[in-house]
Amino acid sequence: MSETSAAPVKVLYTAEATATGGRAGHAASSDGRLDVDLSVPTEIGGDGGPGTNPEQLFAAGYAACFQGAMGVVARRENLSLDGSTVTARVGLGPMGNAFGIAVELNVHLPAIEDPAVAEDLVAKAHEVCPYSNATRDNVDVKLSLV
């Protein structure tokens, strides 16, 4: 494997998780903090049984990461994130002979009254967020203020 320019200069933390059984199986982190059953949504041919799925896990991770990135930018610019939320929607669908994902990040910033300031904060967070950097030029990510 070759190194890419998108790799961090120094890895500060590594998460590790193992999946068994694919989309209808089980996933757990090496430290035991994540331990979930997986199920396939009915929309893609599954039984919709109990359990989560990779898209929900990705949505939760991206939303949390983006909120954290907004916090970094807000601290730099002395802005308040009081009451803010990030809702990530991760869509799965066909893409030629494969499948791909599309992401919507709906950001609520009630403590920032000026829409231009809110838009600037979201744009800057999108530049520093590790998930945004991982998906850039590979996944369609739509940013919206709600």
How does DSSP assign 92-105, residue by residue?
A: EEEETTEEEEEEEE
Average pLDDT of the chain, as a whole number:
95
Tell me, what's the pLDDT at 1?
47
How would residue 32 be classed by pLDDT, with cut points 50, 70 and 90?
A: very high
Q: pLDDT tens, 13-25?
A: 999 999 999 999 9
As a whole number of angstroms, the distance between CA 125 and CA 129 comes to 6
Q: pLDDT tens, 100-122?
A: 999 999 999 999 999 999 999 99
Tell me, what's the pLDDT at 2?
44
N-to-C CA span, the chain:
41
Stated length of the chain: 146
Q: How do 35-37 and 26-29 pair as beta strands?
A: antiparallel
Q: Which residue has the higher pLDDT, 7 or 111?
A: 111
Q: Is pLDDT of 126 > 80?
A: yes
The residue written with tokens 């300031």 in the block is 117
Q: pLDDT tens, 72-100?
A: 999 999 999 999 999 999 999 999 999 99
Domains of the chain (ranges, CATH numbers): 1-52 (2.20.25.10), 54-145 (3.30.300.20)
Q: Which residue has the higher pLDDT, 6 or 83?
A: 83
Q: Is pLDDT of 7 > 80?
A: no
